[in-house]
Amino acid sequence: LIVERQCSGVEAIKNLDGKPVIASDTDNHRYFKRLRAGKDRVVLESMDSGGDYAPVILEMPGKGSNCLEQVWPVAGVLFELPD
């Protein structure tokens, strides 16, 4: 993954809705998912079309027990070609 500079959860909600990100929560988990900013919750949804991975629902930054904390915008993905 190619990531851009880290930003706060608040900044990510304003600027990265619908974009792929690496997101961390206050429980120190990290996720590679698409960020969806709701009115009172943040949803991190899987980009895998198979439906195998459930969305992660977080509280807004500073508003609950497990909140969106830091975000790294994903600028690109590099793949290695198989031999």
For the stretch 8-59, pLDDT in tens is 999 999 999 999 999 999 999 999 999 999 889 999 999 888 888 999 999 9
How confident is the model at residue 26, as a pLDDT?
93
* Chain CA centroid to CA 40, Å: 16
Token pair of 72 as six digits: 């790294």
Greatest CA span in the chain, whole angstroms? 48
Report the alpha-carbon distance of residue 35 to residue 22 in Å, rounded: 9
SS3 assignment, position 1: coil
Q: What is the pTM of this model?
A: 0.87
pLDDT exceeds cutoff 90 at 62: no
pLDDT exceeds cutoff 80 at 83: no
- In eight-state DSSP terms, residue 60 is P
How confident is the model at residue 70, as a pLDDT?
95
